Amino acid sequence: MSVQEQIHQTVTGNKVVLYMKGTPTFPQCGFSSMAVQILKACGVNEFVAVNVLEDAEVRQGIKEYASWPTIPQLYVNGEFVGGSDIMKEMFQSGELQTLLG
């Protein structure tokens, strides 16, 4: 299975997926930490977190998958939502809570 197929399977097979640096309990960058905090503030306690630092192919592959150059990346119901800045804006407007609800 190619990296793109693996990413597609993960994204489409789970309700909420966060590609991040580190893990939810030990984020390795401030943006990933903020993304986890936003998800928790939305009441999302269970989500699939993929640590891109563990696999260079996945780290590069996820950037290509969504044509988005940065990490973290949030996917909900198989759809790319955005990075931490977009998550923050959507959270502040209430749009993210609705999407995750």
The C-alpha angle 89, 63, 15, rounded to 5 degrees, equals 60
CB contact at 8 A, 20 and 51:
yes
Confidence of residue 101 (pLDDT cuts 50, 70, 90): confident
Average pLDDT over residues 72-81: 98
CB contact at 8 A, 20 and 36:
yes
CATH number at residue 69: 3.40.30.10
Question: Which domain, by its residues, includes 13?
Answer: 3-100
Supply the pLDDT for residue 12.
Answer: 98
Supply the pLDDT for residue 80.
Answer: 98
Angle, helices 84-93/30-41, rounded to nearest 10 degrees:
30
The mean pLDDT value of the chain amounts to 97
Q: Given a cut of 90, is residue 95 above it in pLDDT? A: yes
CB contact at 8 A, 76 and 15:
yes
Number of separate domains in the chain: 1
Q: 40-67 pLDDT, tens per residue?
A: 999 998 999 999 999 999 999 999 999 9
Q: Given a cut of 90, is residue 98 above it in pLDDT? A: yes
